[in-house]
A = this chain, B = another copy of it.
Amino acid sequence: MKLYDYSRSPNARRVRIFLAEKAIEVPVETVDLAHGESHTPSFLSKNPLGQVPLLEFDDGTYLAESVAICRYFEEAQPSPPLFGTTARGRAEVEMWARRIELSLFAPVLVVWKHTDPSWAGRLPQVAALADMERARVTQSLAILDAALAQREFLAGDRFSIADILALCTIEFACEAANIWPDPKLEHLAGWHEAVARRPSARA
Contact = CB atoms under 8 A, between A and B. Distances in A.
A94 B65 contact: yes
Contact of A129 (B48, B67, B123): B123
A152 to B, nearest CB: 18
Nearest to A110: B110
A101 interface: yes
Interface in A21-78: 48-49, 63-65, 67-69, 71-72, 75-76
Contacts of A64: 95, 99
Contacts of A88: 63, 72
B91 A87 contact: no
Given A49-B103, A72-B88, A67 B98 contact: yes
Given A48-B146, A103-B49, A129-B123, A76 B65 contact: no
Nearest to A102: B101
A140 B198 CA distance: 37
B99 A87 contact: no
Given A123-B132, A126-B129, A128-B124, A91 B103 contact: no
Given A124-B128, A126-B124, A69 B91 contact: yes
Nearest to A49: B103
A5 to B, nearest CB: 17
A151 interface: no
Nearest to A93: B68
16 contacts: A49-B99, A49-B143, A65-B94, A65-B98, A65-B99, A67-B98, A68-B91, A68-B94, A68-B95, A69-B91, A71-B94, A72-B87, A123-B128, A123-B129, A123-B132, A124-B126
Given A48-B143, A63-B91, 16 more contacts: A48-B146, A49-B99, A49-B103, A64-B99, A65-B94, A65-B95, A68-B91, A68-B94, A68-B95, A69-B91, A72-B88, A75-B91, A76-B87, A106-B106, A124-B126, A129-B129
